[in-house]
Amino acid sequence: MALASRLLSRSTRQLCAGRVVLRPEHAVPVRSFAKEASAPTALKGDQVLKDIFYEVKNKLETAIGVLRKEKITIDPEDSAAVSEYAKVMKSVRQKANLMSESQIIKFNIEVDTHEIPDARSYLLKLKEMRVKRGLIDAQGIEDLQMAALDKVEKEIKKPLMRNDKKGIALLTAEFDKINQKLGIRKEDLPKYEEQLELKIAKAQLEELKKDALEAMETQKKREEFKDEEMPSVKSLDIRNFI
């Protein structure tokens, strides 16, 4: 059951990560609980929260429906198993209208950086977010970007602000040179996204495998199971626990 809960929690986190966002106009108003206050009528904020609850509920049920039908092999060392798991989770996202990992990252960047006025603080924030998510800058792109920023700021003789269109155009041109040098093309972005999803799928299968092994070790300590041979993790069928 713990394995199924861990798997389903990933879909739940996606619901909370991007789809359900309370905008300022949907803020719940403060109620008055004074004795003389009349009985409150249905508030707009209350209805918004109800709508959000039912949206999350429906999406989670949709996700569970997909997971009940698809076979997941817990074998992070098998590229076919990783690919199939990524395919299943993509199906979950599409049918439940959830964000992909790259879309979640983009959304979080927009939320966490929209008030940052200067380019340097923006790039440092991106680095902080990358480190927190455990993503590796294997090509040293961040250092190249900071060097490009240093070059632009030296040229304009002041800190580069994000609303400085001419300065940002200069920085963008420098970033284009970096991308060209590293062989990164915009038309290849779907391929990079697919590679990211496979890396995430492998990491999630590794977590599921760890959970399964821990659960079986706990089971073996019980008297009634001490003489039973534990099955291979990859032979487990999570559908039996949902």
d(CA 50, CA 56): 10
Candidate from 178-182, 197-201, 228-232 with smallest mean pLDDT = 228-232
Percent of the chain with pLDDT over 70: 82
Per-residue pLDDT reduced to its tens digit, 58-93: 888 888 888 888 888 999 999 999 999 999 999 999
pTM (whole model) above 0.75: no
Per-residue pLDDT reduced to its tens digit, 192-202: 888 888 988 99
- pLDDT at residue 167, as a whole number: 96
DSSP class per residue in 78-144 = -HHHHHHHHHHHHHHHHHHTPPPHHHHHHHHHHHHHTT--BHHHHHHHHHHHHHHTT---TT-HHHH
| Averaged confidence pLDDT in the chain | 81
How many other CB atoms are found less than 10 A from the CB of residue 26?
A: 14
Q: Give the residue among 8, 6, 20 at the shortest CA–CA distance from 52.
A: 20
Per-residue pLDDT reduced to its tens digit, 84-139: 999 999 999 988 888 887 888 889 999 999 999 999 999 999 999 989 887 788 88
181-190 long-range contacts (CB < 8 A, ≥24 apart) are 182/139, 182/141
Cβ atoms 201, 86 nearer than 8 A: yes
Average pLDDT over residues 163-183: 95
| Residue in this structure with the two tokens 């602000």, named with its chain if needed | 161
